[in-house]
Amino acid sequence: MSENRRTNDPEGVRRRIVDAAYDAFVTQGYLATGMLELRERASVSGGAMAHHFAVKRDLGLAVIRDRVSEAVRQTWIEPFHTGTNAPAAIDSIFESIIGGLTQNGRVSGCPLNNMAMEISQHDAEMRGAVSAVFGAWHEALSDSFETDVKENRARELNPQSLATLVIASYSGAMAMAKARQDVSPLIECRAELAALLAAKYR
């Protein structure tokens, strides 16, 4: 019966595997997680796992394309569609991430950066999947800065390099916070970014 339910719902099985993999890759790392452990976490048979993901790398690609990109969209892209301007959106994103981590009491890091640091320099397809997520994130930020300039809210600024600085400083601060298990690098970066953006806005 349970075997039937599995074979009759391949999409559900796939989703369960990718959910379990996302959770494991984010909390303990891609390289540190084995396929057997993922089968157990997702409660799927060896046959079902092999049907959907022959090797861990395929699952890594699915996690980046389906889950990591969605996490970045929800956390870092959507707020720019509703915010009044880029600095306000950035500040509220930092506020909600810092609040979440403080409540959680544990810093597992940024899902995208965790995956980015673990993939091999020599795997062009995985690099491409990670780059596409960075690209969408960067575009949301630079578009928002550009709109602010066009609509006369911002003074002179370079939307491209400023977007890179925001993403880089957030990513680096999260890595420091993870290494120290302490949110203060994020709090300090939030303050410095707010001040530097305020100087560029009217």
Binding site for a second copy (CB under 8 A): 27-29, 31-32, 106-109, 113-114, 116-121, 127, 130-131, 134, 158, 160-162, 164-165, 167-173, 175-176, 178-181, 185, 188-189, 191-193, 196, 199
Closest approach, Cβ 15 to a second copy, in A, equals: 26
Pairs from 17-23 (Cβ < 8 Å, separation ≥ 24): 17/42, 17/44, 17/48, 17/49, 17/52, 17/53, 17/59, 18/59, 18/62, 18/63, 18/66, 18/67, 19/67, 21/59, 21/60, 21/62, 21/63, 22/63, 22/67, 22/68, 22/111
CA 27 to chain CA centroid, nearest Å: 13
Closest approach, Cβ 171 to a second copy, in A, equals: 3
Closest approach, Cβ 76 to a second copy, in A, equals: 13
Task: Please tell me the distance from the alpha carbon of residue 85 to that of residue 129, in angstroms, as a whole number.
Answer: 29
Closer to a second copy by Cβ: residue 21 or 48: 21
Closest approach, Cβ 20 to a second copy, in A, equals: 19
Residue 120 amino acid letter: S
Pairs from 92-96 (Cβ < 8 Å, separation ≥ 24): 94/170, 94/186, 94/189, 94/190, 94/193, 95/190
Residue 33 amino acid letter: T
Closer to a second copy by Cβ: residue 102 or 161: 161
Task: State whether residue 98 is helix, strand or coil.
Answer: helix
Closer to a second copy by Cβ: residue 85 or 169: 169
Closest approach, Cβ 112 to a second copy, in A, equals: 9
Closer to a second copy by Cβ: residue 1 or 55: 55
Closest approach, Cβ 183 to a second copy, in A, equals: 12
Closer to a second copy by Cβ: residue 75 or 108: 108
How many CB atoms within 10 Å of residue 119? Answer: 19
Closer to a second copy by Cβ: residue 1 or 199: 199
